[in-house]
Amino acid sequence: MSNDIVTNHVINLIDKDVRLDGRKLDQFRDIKIEYGVSAKSAEGSALVKIGKTEVVAGIKMEVGEPYPDKLDEGTIIANVELLPLSSGEFESGPPTIKSIEMARSVVDRGLRESKAIDFKKLTIKKGEKVWTILIDAYSINDDGNLADAIGLATLAAIKDAKFPKYDEKEEKIDYKEKTKKSIELKELPIPVTVLKIKNKFVVDPVLDEENAMSARLTVTTIEDGRICALQKGGILPLTPEDIEKIIELATKKGKELRKLLK
């Protein structure tokens, strides 16, 4: 048991199946999704609020050469920045391991492994010109559970996106003109982070709860319930039974969250 009053208080409540704000252990805070928040400049954008946690994501599209081993495929590049604007705990500077982990495990892996985007459909001219979808997510206020918020925001931004006009002869993109063509999303891979605190499992933690956790597992699931990404964090281990329970919980919540994006 820690000697930190704040952490002990969180743990005592959770032991009694209650949270700081009165929520149940498997209850999310209020979620708000706003599309097109940067519509003048981004090809697609969205803002997501989970309680007081706020993140914004934007899509830019570029045309370039394909990778030599994938001549008929475009690709995605995901970037996450945990802005010092959003928390006293984040510093200015190059991406930290935390933001890199989020970009890779929460955004990139989910989209890639679920085959949510058909990269072949991003080809303009095989071997020569393909689209790259650049996804950038920024934290605006960190009150816990940035990972799930970023997962939702990036999906919402992709949904919001429209391809800009591409002049094949001039080989130039006219960013000022958007076509009506969207990015086809075949799946909506939803990441849900579950924390183990004492012997209980908690979703959508606020900051004080994140500080009280022993372990966490982010589980990304698709519509049919299959898992397309997993990432464990926290200093203590999880038993196989823990992991089963967490995956069940995350899959259930993933289904609920997916409805918000439909």
Partner 1 sequence: MPYNKRFDGRKFDELREISAEVGVIPNADGSAKFKIGKTIAIAAVYGPRVLHPRFLQDPIKGVLRCNYNMMSFSGSGERVRPGPSRRSKEISYLTEKALEPVLDLSEFPSAVIDVYIELLQTDAGTRCAGITAAALALADAGFPMKDLVSAVALGRIEDKIVLDVSKEEEDFEGGMADIPVAMLPRTGEITLLQMDGLVTLNELKEVLKSAKKACEQIYKVQKDALRARYLK
Partner 2 sequence: MGELKVKDKDIVVPGDVLADGMDFLPAGGAFREGENIIASQVGVVSVNGRLLKLVPLNAKYLPKKGDTIIGKIADVTNNCWFVEIGYSNQACIPLRDGSMEYIPKGADLTQYYDYNDYVVANITNVSRSKEIDLSMKGPGLRKLSDGRIIKVNSAKVPRIIGKQGSMISMIKQMTDCRIIVGQNGLVWLYSVDPLKEAIAVEAIKKIEEKAHIQGLTDEIKVFLESKVGVKYAIQ
Tell me which residues touch partner 2 (CB under 8 A).
Answer: 2-9, 13, 22
Task: Rank residues 11 and 46 by Cβ distance to partner 2 and give the closer one.
Answer: 11
Instruction: Report d(CA 95, CA 85) in Å as an integer.
Output: 14
Sketch the per residue contact string, 70 through 99, with partner 1: x for CB under 8 A, - otherwise. ---------x-x-xxxxxx---x-xx----
By the rule CB under 8 A, 138 interacts with partner 1: yes
Instruction: Report d(CA 103, CA 153) in Å as an integer.
Output: 12
By the rule CB under 8 A, 145 interacts with partner 1: no
In contact, 107 and 150? CB cutoff 8 Å: yes
Q: How far is the CB of 143 from partner 2 (least distance, A)?
A: 13
Query: CA angle at residue 89 from 201 to 107, to 5 degrees?
Result: 60
By the rule CB under 8 A, 127 interacts with partner 1: no
Instruction: Report d(CA 185, CA 251) in Å as an integer.
Output: 19
Among 41, 97, 241, 262, binds partner 1 (CB under 8 A): 41
Q: How far is the CB of 83 from partner 1 (least distance, A)?
A: 7
Instruction: Report d(CA 43, CA 243) in Å as an integer.
Output: 38
Grouping H, G, I as helix, E, B as strand and the rest as coil, residue 258 is helix
Grouping H, G, I as helix, E, B as strand and the rest as coil, residue 5 is helix
Number of residues that bind partner 1 (CB under 8 A): 36
Among 175, 177, 184, 237, binds partner 1 (CB under 8 A): 175
Backbone angles phi, psi at 30, to 5 degrees: -60, 135
Contacts to partner 1 by CB under 8 A: 37-43, 45, 52, 54, 56, 58-60, 62, 79, 81, 83-88, 92, 94-95, 134, 136, 138, 140-143, 173, 175-176
